[in-house]
Structure 1
Amino acid sequence: MNLRPYQNEAKLAILEQWSEGINKVLAVLPTGTGKTILFSAVTEECVRQGKRVLILAHRGELLDQAADKLMKSTGLGCATEKAEQSCLGSWYRVVVGSVQTLMREKRLKGFSENYFNTIIIDEAHHAISDGYQRVLDHFPKAQVLGVTATPDRGDMKNLGSVFDSLAYEYTLPQAIKEGYLSPIKAITIPLKLDLSGVSTQAGDFKASDIDTALDPYLYQIADEMLKYCKERKTVVFLPLVKTSQKFRDILISKGFNAAEVNGESTDRAEILEAFDKGEYNVLCNSMLLTEGWDCPSVDCVIVLRPTKVRGLYCQMVGRGTRLCEGKTELLLLDFLWHTERHELCRPAHLICQNEEVAEKMTENLANEAGCAVDIEEAEKQASEDVVAQREESLAKQLKEMKTRKRKLVDPLQYEMSIQAEDLSSYVPAFGWECAPATDKQKAKLEKLGIFPDDIDNAGKAKLILDRLEKRRNAGLTTPKQIRLLESKGFEHVGSWSFDSASRMIARISANGWRVPRDIDPKTYTPEN
């Protein structure tokens, strides 16, 4: 099996963390980048080491898909633990299992606690549920890998309560940039749909309330689709089955060749196959196609089921991100849902790690309503806008920090000086990351010139320590050099080399700790 570079990196990172004693790890890869291939490769390695592996999922289609990919990519067969089928007594080292079956107490009692050495959870954003927890608790010594397109959960509980570490993350922008996923262009449609009266249920907007709010706009939405996706292969996500069916009929009346599928459709497989072959150009569904269905030729996605859950939003849009011959990009139609709250997922949330940047990108896209905008370019512009705003608002704060009479550098000053967006926007996610910085971390930070008292979690402390080590190896300025030179008025000293900073400090020292007259600190740039 020839893994893509990022898949191989992910596999090695997972195995390395397991070898270090971190038993429950998460791998995050966008929809369409081969999560099943990744965990098949990990499974193959575990079997080679003589381990018994359980691949756990919540839907039959995912289990079938996993078994099929495993056989095709590694040649490994597997037993099944689902309904009347049992793996007990089988000689296979790999088992695909339904969580609904295995979570039952009677079923679990048939297995010793060390029966499985490795448990792999497909679509791991579901892993926080009671059923998965029962299975994991029964096999306490097993090494666990969760794979998902995003670590968010609908009930807003954090996957950090299940997994100890994020072993590897491959982002959507990386996948697009490296040519493994289709570029995405978003069009904001200036049709305002009012969500202000929609209530919340289980951490997300209530589907029945959305349905009521959406119904008066269906004909207008169909008219907008005529402008933008008449020649495209489109998937539409709607809140309820009855609305999905109604919208299909409206689209047909407008000239689209539309079909609809739901959980009760007896001809679901035939409709999906016909859509794949191009016999239909629009497919409506009520949240049925969010997982376990692939149709690479889809080049337009419309989300008419607004959500607060980033994972769900990414799953819906991910139905159109796969590469396909003749496909140049995915078009994402984004309607202006009106809500007083900011938790609604928009195209910006596919790509922005920082909520401030996401809000700015959403604002920018709304100002360009009706125009197709590449989301990578939009994110870059929003990031630049936010950085400019942030630098302006932090100028006074940084000025105060630079004049403080202490020898250590404030973390914020250090982050801004080295222009580390990932540090300044970092939010801890996993259990150990959220804990306070350890005494050992604080002592090391202080030794290296960082004032540790303003770092309130172990995850941030580790990130800064890792960055300090990388910068030392790259021959860049130390925090103490940054502190001294920026207190003299020099700017962005974080981008200087260690040697350049040392030479300037030597000149200042020789001049009685004053900046030489022939140097303007505001405009000075060191020579390479």
Structure 2
Amino acid sequence: MSSTKFTLRPDQSKLIQDGDAATGNVILVAPTGFGKTVVMGALAERQTRPSVAIAHRHELVSQISKAIAQFGVHHNIIASKNTVNFCIQQHVRLFGRSFYNPRAPFTVAGVDTLNARADKLRQWANTIEMWMIDECHHVLTGNKWGKATEMFPRATGIGFTATPIRADRKSLARSQGGVFDSMVVGPNMRELIGRGSLCEYRIFCPSQSIDRANIKVGASGDFSGASLRQEAHKSQIVGDIVTHYKRIAPGKRGITFVVDVDQANETAAAFRDAGVPAECVSAKTPDSVRDAIFQKFVNGTLLQLVNVDLFGEGVDVPAVEVVSMGRPTESYGLYVQQFGRALRTIKGKTHGTIIDHVGNVVRHGLPDAPRNWSLLAEERGKRGQRDPNVMPVTTCTECFMAYEAVTPKCPFCGHRPEPESRGRPEFVDGDLIELDAETLAAMRGEIEAVDGPPPADGSDIVGASINKNHRLRQEAQEELRHSIAVWAGVQRDMGRPDSEIYRRFYHTFGTDIMSAQTLGRPAANKLKEQIDERI
């Protein structure tokens, strides 16, 4: 068997072309499942200069090596002896021959091995003219990733990631402590689902038994290990995971994420006790054992891989049909990586199933919501501010399905929860249709006061000033209401009913449509600008 070169999809080719047009070290952003390793293989094939692709962990190094071999590219491998041998075996099994060549101009390297051998590799590193890094959101000046890039003083770099954001909100830009100069964003997850490159998904959110309120957030921006483990082990999460898997997705191949190795072992044992073939895998599992377990999973003799973040980044596991989340995270990047394990397409698979036991979906929103990525750090005071593109997610108390909180009833089972009150817009997510008559009348009265005649007789300086401000407020409101009408018209053209339009406005702009019509001049002008930016 010979190497089988991939034919790039148009969106993959475009990402490469856009990257070529960018300046300096560039980040290429594309969702989990886009085929970033295929893009890396295509870039490796065209290289005539000494180059290196960098990754962490045995699985990712071997995955990149395989992708490059599929393009017929001979390459060196700088990694542990076990990883090098595994890559060679993988080449022979898949292609009938090895593409490992220690003298080849292209190299695949593990980041830890690079740093450990930095002095011995200095002469070779000075010849490198281009580096690539998978999962490049890790790279900061001074950390192990940044130190690896510093080994190549003559090289420019290309980073790949699905989520160019860190839990600690540190910037990836060279000017702010990162190493990158520009960013190119490819198609989003919803576009890939629409094209059939990724599959649809269904989310179930059973009640949580882990109390997030007691978990501390560490310096990384994610939950700290000690308090996370403590709360997880106090909970009933293991039993919940097994019970809901058997109820929602029996017989499907799944990956389960938990907080530590002890809980992974306990969960795998609970699956086996319930008749579900399962194994625990972690970074401590020997490579040969891990690879054997993985192959059992791919061929279907094993139904559950229970792990601690091992399959959260980069690893292509197309056999996954269901992901069970038993590890809460404040990291949007980790959440999306875990979610994306279930979205790879395979024959006969209609959708991926997500069973979220820890509130990650409600915390971060649906993963295919559009995101406004930025290479630069967030402005001062905006850390943690919600992206207005992302609608809040709620969970149906009847069927446990998760959905965006823009409809008054569950789109899956039709259950309509009764709001706590209909006396204020915030109780009904800004949905004017859901408010009671008395509240609506009061809000209309406030609007009438804004639209009414001048409040003063204007015969003195004070009265004239009051009337002038009233007129200016009316002019600002006229412009604001025009923008609201245009925005709502766009929503109606998309087929959305008024109830959903009201809710989307509320969650996007932080106020309901009627209250917006009572704002003073400065607030009205500011809101108009925000709406115009989104039309």
The TM-score normalised by the length of structure 1 is 0.67
2:133 paired with 1:130: no
Deviates more, 1:253-262 or 1:326-335: 253-262
Residue number in structure 1 paired with 2:15: 10
SS at match of 1:159: coil
Residue number in structure 2 paired with 1:205: 223
- Alpha-carbon distance, 1:305 to partner: 0.9
List alignment gaps of at least 5 residues for structure 2: 1-5, 85-100, 373-385, 412-493
Summarize the Cα distance change of 1:332–1:276 in structure 2 as closer, same or farther, 3 Å threshold: same
Structure 1 residue identity aligned to 2:395: L
Structure 2 residue identity aligned to 1:392: I
| Contact 2:328–2:358 (CA under 8 A) maintained in structure 1 | no
Residue number in structure 2 paired with 1:77: 74
- Alpha-carbon distance, 1:367 to partner: 5.6
Write out aligned runs for 1:51-66 (5 A).
51-66=49-64
- Distance in 2 between residues matched to 1:125 and 1:195, nearest whole Å: 25
Residue number in structure 2 paired with 1:361: 392
Summarize the Cα distance change of 1:352–1:12 in structure 2 as closer, same or farther, 3 Å threshold: closer
- Distance in 2 between residues matched to 1:158 and 1:343, nearest whole Å: 24
Residue number in structure 2 paired with 1:500: none
Structure 2 residue identity aligned to 1:395: A
Write out aligned runs for 1:54-453 (5 A).
54-73=52-71, 75-82=72-79, 91-104=103-116, 105-111=118-124, 113=126, 115-128=127-140, 130-160=143-173, 161-201=178-218, 202-215=220-233, 216-217=235-236, 218-266=238-286, 267-335=289-357, 337=359, 345-349=363-367, 351-353=369-371, 355=386, 360-362=391-393, 364-366=394-396, 370-371=400-401, 385-388=503-506, 390=509, 392=513, 395-396=516-517, 400=521, 413=528, 416-417=531-532, 419-420=534-535
Cα-to-partner distance string for 1:359-382 (whole Å, 9 max, x where unaligned): 7432x335665236599998x988
- Alpha-carbon distance, 1:61 to partner: 2.7
Structure 1 residue identity aligned to 2:25: K
- Alpha-carbon distance, 1:242 to partner: 0.8
Summarize the Cα distance change of 1:33–1:108 in structure 2 as closer, same or farther, 3 Å threshold: same
- Alpha-carbon distance, 1:241 to partner: 0.6
List alignment gaps of at least 5 residues for structure 1: 404-409, 421-528
Cα-to-partner distance string for 1:344-373 (whole Å, 9 max, x where unaligned): 8545245352735587432x3356652365
**Percent same amino acid at aligned positions?**
23
| Contact 2:326–2:358 (CA under 8 A) maintained in structure 1 | no
| Contact 1:348–1:358 (CA under 8 A) maintained in structure 2 | no
Write out aligned runs for 1:500-515 (5 A).
none
Deviates more, 1:131-140 or 1:239-248: 131-140
| Contact 1:101–1:107 (CA under 8 A) maintained in structure 2 | no
CA RMSD of aligned residues (A): 3.4
| Contact 2:255–2:304 (CA under 8 A) maintained in structure 1 | yes
- Distance in 1 between residues matched to 2:292 and 2:365, nearest whole Å: 31
- Alpha-carbon distance, 1:317 to partner: 1.6
Cα-to-partner distance string for 1:378-431 (whole Å, 9 max, x where unaligned): 8x988872325536278348883699xxxxxx78635524643xxxxxxxxxxx
| Contact 2:111–2:144 (CA under 8 A) maintained in structure 1 | yes
Summarize the Cα distance change of 1:393–1:52 in structure 2 as closer, same or farther, 3 Å threshold: farther
Deviates more, 1:134-143 or 1:6-15: 134-143
| Contact 1:238–1:286 (CA under 8 A) maintained in structure 2 | yes
- Distance in 1 between residues matched to 2:256 and 2:518, nearest whole Å: 47
- Distance in 2 between residues matched to 1:35 and 1:99, nearest whole Å: 18
The TM-score normalised by the length of structure 2 is 0.66
| Contact 2:50–2:129 (CA under 8 A) maintained in structure 1 | yes
Residue number in structure 1 paired with 2:31: 30
Summarize the Cα distance change of 1:356–1:368 in structure 2 as closer, same or farther, 3 Å threshold: farther
- Distance in 2 between residues matched to 1:418 and 1:164, nearest whole Å: 26
Structure 2 residue identity aligned to 1:77: H
Structure 2 residue identity aligned to 1:252: R
Summarize the Cα distance change of 1:376–1:117 in structure 2 as closer, same or farther, 3 Å threshold: farther
Cα-to-partner distance string for 1:413-468 (whole Å, 9 max, x where unaligned): 35524643xxxxxxxxxxxxxxxxxxxxxxxxxxxxxxxxxxxxxxxxxxxxxxxx
SS at match of 2:350: coil
SS at match of 1:151: coil
Structure 1 residue identity aligned to 2:251: E
